[in-house]
Structure 1
Amino acid sequence: MSVYADFHIHSPYSMATSPSMTPESLLAGAAMKGISVLGSGDALHPAWRKAWEEHENDTGIAVLPTAEVEGKGRVHHLILMKDFSAFEELAGIFAPHSKDIATGGRPHVHLTGEAIAAAVHDLGGLVGPAHAFTPWTSLYAAHDSVASCYGGETIDFLELGLSADTSYGAGIRELDGVPFLSNSDAHSTHPAKLGREFNGLDLNRVTPEAAFDAVRRGKITLNAGFFPEEGKYNRTACTRCYTPYSLEEAVRLGWTCPEDGGQIKKGVFDRARELGGGAPSERPPYYHVIPLGEIIRVVLGVSSATTKKVEARYYRLVETFGTEIAVLAEVPVAEIREADPAVGAAVEAFREGRVHLVPGGGGKYGTFTLP
């Protein structure tokens, strides 16, 4: 059966995360979104592991134990395991190298990518770089190659991040054969965050073990997520005033913005071009999506997807058609138009690619308009 999975989220024990992140609220949010396999997030944290292990999950949604760590060079690594006991063992291995392994949802582990990957592989887990292209805390921010970070260890997947899609990595020859993942990295259960990027899997049964095995074997049938321009690090830009610059301009200016003296940060678009150049490898399709709440926000002409007007319209559509992903990708436009003419027209425009994008950069999300 074809299902959708979001492997990378966080718990209330991570920084800048909503306190509403509980197993109950996350599973409810995943069901509303249409996510059948959800990463637990932060499984190295003892209280969060306990919360999941003690929760009676009768939703039919499979919860796969996952975690993110920050290693040497400020590189973030995403880890997948078959069960929570493996994360308990991994936490013990990391403990001598981390001051916050028992307190931080995303702990700092003072080990190289190679050492982290070796520990994960020894326990039968999967590991790969999180949001690999972003200019902060990523593989390609700190290294020019996978081997420079992971040494003799292999990576089992690469997470693209919100500012990239498949095309950004498909021409990088060292990534040939490495599965790509697209995940939300959600810090909130709000539908504009949870499941905003996801993966398609073809599973015989919806279980953590089956989802783990699908990633291990590279059986990803679909990646879905933002138009890359929507991401907040897509283009090279100042981190203070967000003025965009070409790569050549940034180099000439010494990476200092002449407008306010802020630091210019290289965008994912330029970084991927530097690393690429090979013939694009064959990949599963990438489906560009805009969160339904954001589409409704633009239709209503309001500034936030969390307003009562937006949420009321969102919940009405999801109740009518089952899940948000169904509205975005599966339900015939004619049926959506019948239920909500304005949103139906906007969904049709977005599906047809009639979207005007203003790229984000420097830490500011991109914006879009629909006809």
Structure 2
Amino acid sequence: MENLRSFFVDLHVHIGSTRKGKPVKITASRQLTFENIAKECAYKKGIDVVGIVDSASPFVIEDIEELLESGKMEALRDGGLIYDKKLTIILESEIEVEEENGGHAHHVAIFPYLEDVKKFSNILSRLVKNPNLSTQNTRKRAQEIFNIVDDIGGILFPAHAFTPHKSIYGNCTRRLSNIFTKKAMRKIPAIELGLSADTDIADRIAELENYTFISNSDAHSLSKIGREYNIFLMEQPTYKEVLFTLFRKNGRKVIANYGMDPKLGKYHRT
């Protein structure tokens, strides 16, 4: 078996602003720039892998390209970017969908390479009113977005799946199988729990027995990065290894997810 090690992982962090001060996530702190997130994770929080969910914003893509050109960040052969040889950054996009019943939910798409993110960004620009802003409503069904992401070579997982505000179980359906095809469900590796549920609660749903549960911060400020996090057992901090871990392949797995007790959350039992 390969030399597997533990890594601290937070796969849901927002960008509030670009380096030049252009807004991305309106409700997020303007201190949340791409590079500030990288510095916070690498030098203060001890995060090994961070997923930035606004990477498909054309404004953010400009910041990414500048960091690559400067040499502060490099592309990894197995997917992802490495900042200052310390932190792996996974390029992601949080998308809002609208189901047939009118319910809205958020999902996170993960991509291995910047070119894949650019392809997705170009498609999003035709679906949303302002592609520069975070988590815009695509007015598409989740299955349709899954198909787009899958065709590009990324993966999709439901974000904060149990909160009543814009989540798949909280606002759209009682069963994933009502939303996704069987083929799509086999390709979805994980469920992000959010503040309304923990592993014990999610384990009571039979259709989720084969999914990996993850807890991420959904940070809207620098201080909240890593508030919720996971410990991944994998060989290297790359996109490929993150996928192996989420799919529980080759001995990789999530050792633990650390989130707030749902009883303390404002959405508990709502």
Match of 1:7 in 2: 11
In the TM superposition, what are the counterparts of 1:220-299 in structure 2 within 5 Å?
Answer: 220-235=254-269, 267=270
- In structure 2, the gaps of 5 or more residues are 17-23, 73-82
Cα offset, 1:62, TM superposition: 0.3
**CA apart distance, 1:175:** 0.7
Q: How does 1:151-166 map to 2 (within 5 A)?
A: 151-152=181-182, 153-154=184-185, 155-166=188-199
* Deviation, structure 1 residue 210: 2.4
Q: What displacement does 1:59 show? A: 4.8
Question: What's the CA shift for 1:179?
Answer: 1.1
Cα 1:208–1:81 change in 2 (3 A) is same
Q: Residue 161 of structure 1 aligns to a residue in which SS?
A: coil
Which deviations, in whole Å up to 9, do the C-alpha atoms of 1:145-166 show, x marking residues without a partner? Answer: 1022223422321110022110
- 1:48 aligns with 60
Contact 1:4 1:200 in 2 (8 A): yes
- Give SS of 1:150's match: coil
Higher relative contact order (CA 8 A, sep 6+): 2
Q: Secondary structure at the match of 1:71?
A: strand
In 1, the alpha carbon distance for the partners of 2:264 and 2:85 equals: 32
Of 133, 147, 152, 1:104 maps to 133
> Retained in 2: the 8 A contact 1:8–1:67?
no
Larger radius of gyration: 1
Query: What is the root-mean-square deviation in Å for CA atoms of aligned residues?
Result: 1.6
Is 1:147 the equivalent of 2:177? yes
Higher deviation after alignment, 53-62 or 110-119: 53-62
Q: Distance between the aligned counterparts of 1:46 and 1:70, measured in 2?
A: 17
Q: CA separation in 2, counterparts of 1:217 and 1:46?
A: 33
| Paired position in structure 1 for 2:92 | 66
Q: Secondary structure at the match of 1:65?
A: strand
Structure 2 CA distance for aligned equivalents of residues 202 and 54 of structure 1: 32
Which residue of 2 is the match for residue 17 of structure 1? Answer: 28
Given that 1:164 and 1:228 are in contact with CA atoms closer than 8 Å, whether structure 2 keeps it comes out as yes
Q: Distance in 2 between matches of 1:181 and 1:40?
A: 15
- C-alpha distance after superposition, 1:37-57 (max 9, x if no partner): 001221110111221332212
Cα 1:228/1:143, change in 2 over 3 Å: same
1:81 corresponds to which of 90, 111, 129: 111
| Structure 1 partner of 2:207 | 174
SS at match of 2:153: coil
My pick for the range that moved more, 125-134 or 219-228, is 219-228
TM-score, L = length of structure 1: 0.60
Distance 1:59 1:29 in 2: 14
Summarize deviations over 1:92-145 as a string: whole Å, max 9, x none.
233332222x22122211110110111111122111111000011000121111
Unaligned runs of at least 5 residues, structure 1:
236-266, 268-371
* Deviation string, structure 1 residues 303-330 (Cα, Å, up to 9, x no partner): xxxxxxxxxxxxxxxxxxxxxxxxxxxx
